[in-house]
Structure 1
Amino acid sequence: MARLRKKWWARDAMETSGVFIEDNYAHKGKWNEVFGNDNDIYLELGCGRGDFVVNTAAQNPDKNFIAVDLKDEVLCYLARKCKEMNLNNVRFMALNIMLIQNVFDKDEVKRIYLNFSTPWPKTKHNKRRLSHPKFLELYAEFLAPKSEIWLKSDDKPFFVDSAYYFKDSGYKLSYLTYDLHNSIYADKSVRTEYETKFSAMGKKINFLIAKMK
């Protein structure tokens, strides 16, 4: 994997975007006040440069979106896109996802997107997967009843394991396909940067929707 080069301008771009959350833990239980409405909150964990979240938010102005990643070097691009597109329904933060349960209160989030998360193929590293039961337990602390988790991946072993994780953690799989772009959700799911790249290489995209019972 290519190493991200330090971008000295990144933090300034984020802080002047008007949508960057500097204190990740200050709004727990009060996120609707941040957006100034009572619209449902959708969360993307591992947003990268932000193509997915900004385009999804633009198509769904009646929803609020919060995007999370760790590196300033990718989040700075999201900051620019939000500013260029004048999006008022997006906020983003730099955060280790292991700490995500400290950010939201009970029933505060209606949907989570896990797009092309790191598959961590070695068995000893499986617990780092964002779909692992350990993380699903964290998400349950702030997901509202009947919430959904939408997962996309090009890695089939990771995807198959994730489907079992959801079932074992009390979720119902309301939809699953091993070929998203030839499914009924082909036009309903915005493509990510990785998705565009992998599709051009001829890879099929796996997709599922897991619903809390």
Structure 2
Amino acid sequence: MGKNKLAKFEEMKAFEHVVQAPYKTVKHHDFHLKGKWANVFFGNDNPLVVELGCGKGEYSVELAEKYPDKNFLGVDIKGARLWKGSKIALEKELKNVGFLRTNIEIIDQFFGPNEVDEIWLTFPDPQMKKFRKRLTSTVFLKRYQPFLKENGIIHLKTDSRFQYSYTSALVHLNEFDVIAETDNLYESEILDDTLRIKTFYEKQWLSRGIKIKYLAFRFGENKGDWKEPEHKFEKDDYRSFGRSARDMP
């Protein structure tokens, strides 16, 4: 590990708005802030919005600036990335945004029943070969359901045609309540100030001519036996920057 990363990890230990609890430190027991994020961590009773796979935390930070009456928690396992967002939040003296460094596979161990109002999934890895690792698969949705409020919203913002098509099919197959859906966000009527927030990588996708997709939904009345779509979805012919990314619609 490079000295720069080690320095960031060391600095982040002193950040009161950052909680570090990777799998090896939590394993199979519940976390001490479970059910207490608003009152204990943020010191208020405002709604809690969680961004899973937040990367550098840009979206969480900008959301916190726009909505001071809500609490925002960015979650990622990459400590060097989280350092960026946590540093910005510290410099801006934002009190309504924090970060959790952990494995998303055990995310249900960190929140109590009905604790979270909204979930944002911003440009997750589509995991085209392993559906069980997709953050919008039934595997993960079942992990979110216990801690997401009854009318809680899940937002997906993605560059991936595969991720969007798969999630849309899953949502409609299971008759979830669709709030908004578009395969070309920046040419759609639903575009607003919240959806205009752009991460570093989103700006690069846009510069390459790649369309951004957005889907927002609630579980609605269907809280039972969810199904995976059987349709074979066209795979993206790129992965990420530095790995054969190229222009495509």
Fold shared per TM-score above 0.5? yes
Q: Which moved more, 1:23-32 or 1:145-154?
A: 23-32
Partner of 1:13: 11
Quote how far apart the aligned CAs of 1:169 are: 4.5
Distance change (3 Å), C-alpha of 1:160 and 1:4: farther
User: Sequence identity, in percent?
Assistant: 32
Distance change (3 Å), C-alpha of 1:170 and 1:4: farther
Within the candidate set 172, 183, 187, 1:182 is matched to 187
For residues 58-207 of structure 1, the aligned pairs below 5 Å read 58-122=65-129, 125-188=130-193, 189=195, 190-207=197-214
Number of equivalenced pairs: 209
Quote how far apart the aligned CAs of 1:176 are: 0.3
CA contact (8 A) 1:48 1:75 kept: yes
Question: Amino acid of the residue matched to residue 35 of structure 2?
Answer: G
Q: Can you give the 5+ residue segments of structure 1 that lack an aligned partner in the other structure?
A: none
Aligned-partner Cα distance in 2 for 1:15–1:161: 38
CA contact (8 A) 1:10 1:76 kept: yes
Question: Amino acid of the residue matched to residue 157 of structure 2?
Answer: K
* 2:43 pairs with 1:43: no
Aligned-partner Cα distance in 2 for 1:10–1:84: 15
Partner of 2:217: 210
Question: Amino acid of the residue matched to residue 107 of structure 2?
Answer: I
CA contact (8 A) 2:181 2:215 kept: yes
Partner of 1:27: 33
Where has structure 1 moved over 4 Å in runs of 4 or more? 3-6
Instruction: Give per-residue Cα distances to partners, 1:178-212, cap 9 Å, x unaligned.
Output: 11111233233121222111011111100011113
Higher RCO structure, 1 or 2 (CA under 8 Å, sep 6+): 1
Quote how far apart the aligned CAs of 1:61 are: 0.4
Distance change (3 Å), C-alpha of 1:99 and 1:5: farther
Distance change (3 Å), C-alpha of 1:8 and 1:46: same
Q: State the superposition RMSD in angstroms.
A: 1.9
Quote how far apart the aligned CAs of 1:6 are: 6.4
Instruction: Give per-residue Cα distances to partners, 1:42-94, cap 9 Å, x unaligned.
Output: 00000111111101111110000011000112111112111111110011111
Instruction: Report which of the two structures shows the higher radius of gyration computed on alpha carbons.
Output: 2
Q: Which moved more, 1:135-144 or 1:183-192?
A: 183-192
If the length of structure 1 is used for normalisation, what is the TM-score?
0.92
Q: Can you give the 5+ residue segments of structure 2 that lack an aligned partner in the other structure?
A: 221-249
Aligned-partner Cα distance in 2 for 1:138–1:186: 29
Partner of 2:242: none
